[in-house]
Amino acid sequence: MDEEDEEALKSRLILRDDALGVAEVRLVGGLDVAYAKGSDGVGDMAVACLVVLTFPSLQRCYTDTISFEIQAPYAPGFLARREAPAMIRLLERVKERKKSGQEAAVPDVVLVDGNGTMHPRRFGIACRVGVVADVPAIGVSKNFLALEDLDAHSTKEAILARMAPTEDLGEDTALPAHERQCVLHCIDDAQVGCAVMAPSSRVPVFVSPGHRVSLQTAVSIVRRSQVYRIPEPIRHADAEARAALRRHISGGKGR
């Protein structure tokens, strides 16, 4: 997964709605990876999970997990080296199962736990997963990834200050809908992502296009997928990955 490989994939990146609008989405997937505490280095085992929910009713209709050996150390901005291969395999497998007549729900769009274009090289894990698997993809990060070229109004501090409730002024702490999201701009005015806050949360997630989805559509799908802070597809995938990891560890100890 070298720079030449990434540049070749970037040339195939599509950052617009490619025959997909919110109204056409019927199934939305979530991808996440779980690691054992203290055992997340090269050679250790992790579990990736794909969960698919109906949209917009958010009822689970498909779950699959894959255990894999970690092949790369963690490094900020290089999450794809660790997690993308397993996520791509899960998407390939659901397509294969559907094609062979098995019961499987291929997502119209997938939410990836990680960044899309909100990334130092404008090509985060959601971009790689989307391009390689050829699926519409959206990056949803729990953490703010600082970029050197963000404008002064799009720093983490500026975003959180703009989205903070004003309870100290005695006002209602529930922010109106239009204030529950804040687009992040770079100094060249390019839009790389959007901070999005669920009605029940005081902390945003950071949304960015991964592939074949515009920023506007990405934000709309994420907002309609939120019950809590983390969108339901990723929240379910996180829980299932952790449960599968616990089962694997317990099984290993019992041998």
The domains located in the chain, with CATH, are 3-144+206-249 (3.30.2170.10)
pLDDT one-digit tens code per residue, 17-37? 987 788 899 999 999 999 998
What confidence score (pLDDT) does residue 18 get? 85
Is the Cβ–Cβ distance between 118 and 193 less than 8 Å? yes
Q: Which amino acid is at 119?
A: H
What confidence score (pLDDT) does residue 168 get? 46
- Residue of 205, 198, 188 whose CA lies nearest to 145: 205
Residues 108-121 have a mean pLDDT of 96
Instruction: Give me the chain's average pLDDT, please.
Output: 90
What confidence score (pLDDT) does residue 167 get? 55
Q: How many CA atoms lie within 13 A of 155 on its CB side?
A: 6
pLDDT one-digit tens code per residue, 193-239? 999 999 888 899 999 999 999 999 999 999 999 999 999 999 999 99
Residues 129-148 have a mean pLDDT of 95
**Residue 254: is its pLDDT beyond 50?**
no
State how far the Cα of 225 lies from the Cα of 2, in Å rounded to an integer: 34
**Residue 38: is its pLDDT beyond 50?**
yes
Degrees to nearest 5, angle at CA 240 with 198 and 209: 45
- The position carrying tokens 């109906």 is 54
